[in-house]
């Protein structure tokens, strides 16, 4: 009887996830344009990818920088604001909503707004210069030294509020008796945060660290909308490079190899999470 109930969703999973995954693994071993016959070439795509393709290595480096940014800045911001809001009673719901709204907006809308704000002629930099504050009218998305950071800034604007809501929810589930005991022992606010708050939300923090790490190697929408991976590849990511190879250069087999590599990276991160749980970590 249980198999009958899960059969519909299992069938859907096989059609939507398993079959395309198997197809992707096969096409990664072929020379295929996306149309017509695929010629089997074995591991040649992967050999080219790891040993000959400098653009692929550049994209990986950008994804690692993206990972480093999103495992630090939004987490610090979210933890700090969630800690302050946990002690706020009046107006806290309005503040939470204001911080969370950017997350529910479509990425196309958010990226388009930030593209206008970062425009050197129409954006906030020109406005500041009109107010007498110079140095901000800079083509952030058109400069290869600032493009990646500008995209990360725009993406973080919508992401950190979501983290804050998750951390705040976890903090509100910590028993108040623990804070009372800490105060009786003479703990200050910082000591309460280190010894009560952080241990109480540790599982949520670790889980979001893992998910953020996985998503950092899958990022596509903000990069594609704002720069298409440019200028001169300075914001190229694995996902944007895959898209270009498969749908612009019609190297679908090579793009499938990039996709399999991305899946392997995500699988490694998920495996680390599972191993930590088996070792007794509260994650």
pLDDT at 146: 92
At 97-123, the pLDDT tens digits run 888 899 999 999 999 999 999 888 888
Return the SS3 of 155. helix
Return the SS3 of 31. strand
Task: Give the list of residues 6+ apart from residue 272 with CB closer than 8 angstroms, or none.
Answer: 210
pLDDT at 64: 95
Q: At how many degrees (to 10) do helices 202-216 and 73-86 cross?
A: 150
pLDDT at 203: 87
In sequence order, the β-bridge partners of residue 39 are 31
Q: What angle do CA 196, 198, 203 make, to 5 degrees?
A: 120
CB 187 within 8 A of CB 250: no
* Spans of all domains in the chain: 43-278
pLDDT at 18: 92
Which parts of the chain sit beneath pLDDT 70?
282-283
- Cα dihedral sign for 148, 151, 157, 158? negative
**What is the SS3 string spanning 48-104?**
HHHHCCHHHHHHHHHHHHHHHHHCCHHHHHHHHHHHHHHCCCCCHHHHHHHHHHHHH
Asked if the 43-278 domain carries CATH number 3.40.50.2300, the reply is no
CB 282 within 8 A of CB 63: no
At 120-131, the pLDDT tens digits run 888 887 888 878
pLDDT at 283: 61
Return the SS3 of 28. coil
pLDDT at 91: 75
């Amino acid at each position: 009887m249980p198999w009958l109930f899960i059969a519909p969703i299992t069938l859907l999973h096989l059609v939507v996830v398993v079959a395309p995954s198997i197809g992707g693994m096969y096409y990664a071993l072929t020379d295929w344009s996306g149309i017509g016959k695929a010629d089997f070439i074995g591991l040649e795509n992967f050999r080219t990818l790891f040993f000959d393709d400098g653009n692929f290595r550049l994209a990986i480096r950008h994804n690692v920088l993206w990972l480093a940014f999103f495992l630090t800045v939004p987490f610090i911001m979210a933890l700090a604001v969630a800690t302050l809001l946990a002690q706020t009673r009046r107006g806290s719901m309005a503040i939470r909503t204001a911080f969370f709204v950017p997350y529910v907006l479509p990425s196309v809308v958010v990226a388009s707004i930030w593209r206008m704000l970062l425009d050197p002629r129409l954006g906030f930099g020109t406005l500041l210069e009109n107010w007498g504050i110079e140095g901000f009218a800079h083509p952030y998305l058109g400069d290869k030294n600032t493009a990646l950071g500008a995209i990360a800034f725009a993406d973080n604007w919508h992401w950190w509020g979501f983290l804050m809501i998750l951390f705040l929810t976890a903090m509100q589930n910590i028993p108040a008796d623990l804070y009372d005991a800490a105060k009786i022992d003479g703990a200050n606010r910082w000591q309460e945060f280190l010894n009560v708050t952080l241990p109480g939300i540790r599982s949520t923090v670790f889980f979001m660290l893992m998910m953020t790490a996985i998503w950092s190697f899958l990022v596509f929408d903000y990069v594609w909308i704002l720069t298409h991976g440019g200028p001169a590849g300075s914001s190229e990511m694995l996902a944007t490079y895959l898209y270009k190879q498969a749908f612009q250069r019609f190297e679908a087999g090579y793009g499938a190899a990039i996709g399999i590599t991305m899946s392997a990276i995500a699988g490694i991160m998920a495996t680390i999470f599972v191993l930590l749980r088996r070792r007794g970590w509260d994650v």
